[in-house]
A and B are shown apart, each in its own frame.
Chain A
Amino acid sequence: MLLCRSVTVSSPSAIEVDDLVKSYGDVDAVRGVSFSVPPGEVFGFLGPNGAGKSTTINMLCTLAEPTSGTARVSGFDVVAQRDAVRRHIGLVFQDPTLDSHLTAEQNLRLHADLYGIDPGVIPARMDQMLAMVGLADRRDKPVMTFSGGMKRRLEIARGLMHSPRVLFLDEPTIGLDPQTRSSIWGYIHALQETEGTTIFMTTHYMDEAEFCDRIAIMDRGEIVVLDTPEALKAGVGADRVALGTADDDAALAALWDRFGIEASVAEGAVTFHVEDGEAFVPRVFAELDVAITSVAVSRPTLDDVFMRYTGSTIRDAETGGVAEQNRAMMRAMAGAKR
């Protein structure tokens, strides 16, 4: 007991990152990030593609060596104690890493064997993991016959086979149907409660990020903000107004001239933030000379938080940014006219 305590005291965090840097040649993929995650927390890692999320995860999982800085996972240094880190973490990657020629059960058993788990407990543990992800009746089927959602569930079951202290989930629900997504969240929460597992996840779904205890938003290799979802939303404060207009550029200019509001085009709508959006909308109709085709006013969401800190919504960030799309479209139109 005493020993346990001293270990806990010496490493109170499940993840402790200090000024972590990763450079590939001249490119700084991660530029000095620092944060810590207490045990049992569900920690969300958000950011546009190329922000450095995957590189950070790879360093925490010992798959990439930091250029400088330190990271400890479950109390172990990711460079000096690589094996110890590996014994205490589970990983579910964005891309499948199952052997599709093997059955579900063979995949789990192979994992348990690689991790050196006591053969006596493997069958019972395997039964529980398969039951948890609802694949008990498919255990003897080759993975190649599984749907995308089933494969992902099996990956999660496999990542949990060895009771990891920290589970890394890289986009665990991407491309899955809503039911599977919500059941995966069910496992994540059950796990947190029963085994006290710390979850470190990346996601593109802002509605899912809400389920996280805390969120870090990463952009251009740095963490731009880190807090609970509630605090982040409260920080944005103002309501979000999205206008469909006949002429977005004219609308942007008019908003700036009349109201001093700096708006931007996001997901096809002129978007800006104001206090008390519902009261503001009638003024827009009265004073803007541009035809308005639609109006939406919403309370701040994590989308707004993301937009505030990275300058685009996460969906736009995915498709290369609205501004670039617009330019590409205009080039295409100009070309067609000629």
Chain B
Amino acid sequence: MSAVMADIVAVRVPERTWRSEARAVKTVWHRDMIRFAGNRAQVMTWLIQPLLFLFVLGSGLQSLSAASTGGVDLKTFMFPGVLCVAVLFTAMVSAASLVWDRELGFLREMMIAPVSRTSIVVGKCLGGATIAASQGVIVLALAGLVGVPYDPQLILGAFGLLVLLAFTVSAFGVLVAVTIKQAQTFTWVMQLVVFPMFFLSGALYPVAGLPAWLEALNRINPLTYAVDPMRHLVFDHLDVSETARRTLDPGVTWFGWQLPPGFEAGMVLLLGLALLGAAIWKFSRTE
């Protein structure tokens, strides 16, 4: 042992700089990537549900809906919504790993390190967003199977929206994770918040002509403003009749005002930044 200790490598911990914080963000992010790589099969299970909606529900209900969709395949209609849902679930679950870090002790290793809490939260959020966006890309790759063309503009635009949504949902997930104290509570949040968000978002139905109560709930649901521009983007590249477009892609209105897709995307981004800020604030006050 003394031989080993004799010429010991001297190590120094430098003072904090923005570069060391950037390295900390990357470290936290990189850890999520390592774990994702070793655990891909488990993360993939969160794609099963959206794909069941798309291919099973979409195919099964096709005969019922054929008359009202103006010749558009129900799967094609549901595709943009399912893209968003795949990202929603994965981003939430990835961000939730912070709860497990608390439960299993690793969080302490990060909390005691000479790095700001902001870097930990940002790294975690980017990690969740990366994993969720890559899941979204898998679903996006299936576009051809449901009659959505592989148009470069469509693919790029959809990818951008996926990344945006992945970021915002991850920020929400991290905020939840730093707020709750037990891993068990996260299951409740999934059941009581995330699943209702999915159902109320219009991912599986057009958002015009809804009953008043459902319309109200739909409009206050943040996910609505990710699904709508995504659907708009997809329908821009489909060859469908004007009537079908009006029925299936009516767009979100506020008291009669049609929201532009860019405005909706901006709302999602702002919400994401606000949630991230809240998560940082909350985590910085955790002892």
Contact = CB atoms under 8 A, between A and B. Distances in A.
Contacts, number: 112
A63 B13 contact: no
Contact of B111 (A63, A102, A117): A63
Contact of B14 (A61, A110, A116): A116
B106 A132 contact: no
Contact of B112 (A63, A88, A117, A132): A63
For chain B, give the interface size range: 35 or more
Given A96-B105, A115-B13, A194 B24 contact: no
Contacts of A98: 105-106, 109
B23 A93 contact: no
**Which residue of A61, A97, A102 has the most chain B CB atoms within 10 A of its CB atom?**
A97
Given A100-B104, A113-B23, A86 B113 contact: yes
A99 interface: yes
Contacts of A131: 4
B8 A102 contact: no
Given A87-B13, A194-B5, A102 B109 contact: no
B111 A195 contact: no
B41 interface: no
B11 A121 contact: yes
B40 interface: no
B27 interface: yes
B145 interface: no
Given A97-B109, A190-B5, A194-B8, A65 B24 contact: no
Nearest to B27: A113
A91 B112 CA distance: 8
B263 to A, nearest CB: 40
Interface string A124-143: 11001001100000000000
A143 to B, nearest CB: 10
Given A99-B31, A132-B4, 20 more contacts: A62-B112, A83-B114, A86-B112, A93-B105, A96-B104, A97-B105, A97-B107, A101-B38, A110-B27, A113-B27, A116-B20, A116-B23, A117-B11, A121-B9, A124-B9, A128-B8, A163-B10, A187-B1, A190-B1, A194-B5
Interface of A: 61-65, 83, 86-88, 91, 93, 95-102, 106, 110-111, 113-118, 121, 124-125, 128, 131-132, 158, 161-163, 186-187, 190-191, 193-195
Interface of B: 1-2, 4-6, 8-16, 20, 23-24, 26-27, 30-31, 34-35, 38-39, 104-115, 287
